[in-house]
Amino acid sequence: MRYSKHIFKTLISLLMIGCATPAILKSDNEKLTQKSFSGDKHIEQRVDSVLRLMTLEEKIGQMTQFSADWSVTGPVMADKYQPYLEKGLVGSIFNATSVAGIRNLQKIAVEQTRLGIPILFGQDVIHGYKTIFPIPLAESCSWDLTLMRKTAELAAREASADGINWTFAPMVDITRDAR
């Protein structure tokens, strides 16, 4: 009896592996095609061209995100980041604000690096950027969809005007208790 449980579990495991194997083999045999996200062949060719020109270090750098230094009043990029910016080893910067500051950082990225790849600037804009609104969870309690849309649009316009092109809002925090 004791061994029959182990045999049953082993057979079920082998059955599950067997079911997954055809899908794995099928994807190996078929030619993988990459879907175009932009819909513009010229953009796709330019992206491929830039990727071919990039070194491995630059590609890894594009996945690196620095954060503005908040140890002083207001967000300031620390001088220690300058060499990384000049080598094109920064893909994005979080919490850099002010038009002048962002323009300066973008100028370094575009004019002083080998490939001139612009930086992506990100910011938490969950309840507004310059104009502060209630958080979306609180706004949702009003059931006023028009108000929620207007506050989100205003926050987007304000952030865009400062050069922020990546916001971490709206968001959905969903937890799952697997007990």
**Cis amide leading into 170 (omega within 30):** yes
Q: How far is CA 8 from the centre of its chain?
A: 45
Interacting residues of 130 by C-beta distance below 8 A, sequence separation 6+:
158, 162
> In this predicted model, what pLDDT tens digit does every residue of 44-78 receive, in sequence order?
888 889 999 999 999 999 998 888 766 666 556 66
User: In the beta sheet, which residues pair with residue 126?
Assistant: 128
> In this predicted model, what pLDDT tens digit does every residue of 118-168 receive, in sequence order?
999 988 888 888 888 988 888 888 899 999 899 989 998 998 888 888 888
Three-state SS letters, 122-170? EECCECECCCCCCCHHHHHCCCCHHHHHHHHHHHHHHHHHCCCCEECCC
Decide which of 15 and 96 is more confident.
96
Q: How many CA atoms lie within 13 A of 72 on its CB side?
A: 8
The residue type of 162 is D
Is pLDDT above 90 for 178? no
Q: Dihedral through CA 44, CA 47, CA 51, CA 54, nearest 10? A: 160
> In this predicted model, what pLDDT tens digit does every residue of 18-38 receive, in sequence order?
666 555 555 554 555 566 666
129 exposure class (CB count in 10 Å sphere: 0-12, 13-18, 19+): buried
pLDDT at residue 83, rounded to an integer: 86
User: In the beta sheet, which residues pair with residue 94?
Assistant: 67, 122
pLDDT category at 95 given cuts 50, 70, 90 is confident
Domain ranges of the chain: 54-167
* Total-model pTM: 0.66
